[in-house]
Structure 1
């Protein structure tokens, strides 16, 4: 299957959503100093798809991801993961949700230096008292080409290898959703392209759902759909993006920035 064919796969026939929001608003502060990060956002994240979220600095893209993932509270509106509403859940329930059903890949690798790559990968499941599915874990490790690095500690790995370990950790429990916040920000161009290819394969070959916040048109071009935020609202979307088309669209929303 070619990369183009992969990116243009049909939405699942049942149109299932892995996450969705209705009337989602988030305000920081109060009174005259209040800042509206999200303003009544409705969004559907399709299951088994790769969605990129873009927008100018301060547009609310990271806030949207944090609210979808249950990492931040909402001021108004509702959020669902699968068919379960998560707004209003207590801290313990949200902790279990994030541990068992959501994977995270951040710009900083967040690996524990005293643990091997294998131990870092299985850490969330170890904390939750869950045994990994050996077949799935092997699939993730081989997909990310980490087989010969499993006994190495983070200081013995390159930046790209560390981010691949972080990606494997996010995928190891087979979560409903994988959130990636600027995952290539600390990587050189080659390692960044490699990681994006792995996220693409996680969707196409492993059936994962990935939501990625990025400012990079080249990174967004790996997605099936790009959502554009401006002033806390979704103002546009682009299916089957290319880097050139994303770049041109971003110039409309952020003309002051030199891309």
Structure 2
């Protein structure tokens, strides 16, 4: 019996520990969920699900025994008390800021999860994307690819606009304005380095069939928005996973990805 206790003590002392930044994010999400409950249940649900995912990630990184339990050294206690702040907007803004900042600082294995959570939180907030930063050589290549992508989105939306009814034109025009703002930002950023890709005369529709009436045009536009969200999310998570990520670039990509998700 004493031998078992000694082994347990060794495991407790030398065993794996929760990744500190992940644990801080998880505890903050759990506390936010408690604070938002009854104030903004939708926001509370988002933060609760984010807390669950973060605690699950901590367990995954620590490993589990045959019964699915983590080592005792890696066990965590979820917060049980709320911070009684009435302003749900402030809670979500603080959560978005902290999660965005952590996206390129947590262990590499967890950066996709944290970046996706940062995107979801930023999509919640009515804020503009930050200014695009100075670009390194690899970032210039990524920016050029994203600029070509934006040209393609504008081509697709312009094509679809010809088929939607007048009642949907404002929606299409809003999306076109968003994409044109991105094009301007990317062109201005790349102009500093003397290399600005130009749009093609036409683009293929990829996986989607080109629209031929109002219903197919609306479905096509929704498909464009879904693919756009995936494209920018992938760019953000990819940048966060670099060996030496540029936080300003990651933050900008998260902001644009959040903007895309807000248009779904």
The structure richer in strand per residue is 1
The structure richer in helix per residue is 2
Scaled to the shorter chain, the TM-score interval is: under 0.3
TM-score by length of 2: 0.27
Q: Which has the larger radius of gyration?
A: 2
TM-score by length of 1: 0.28
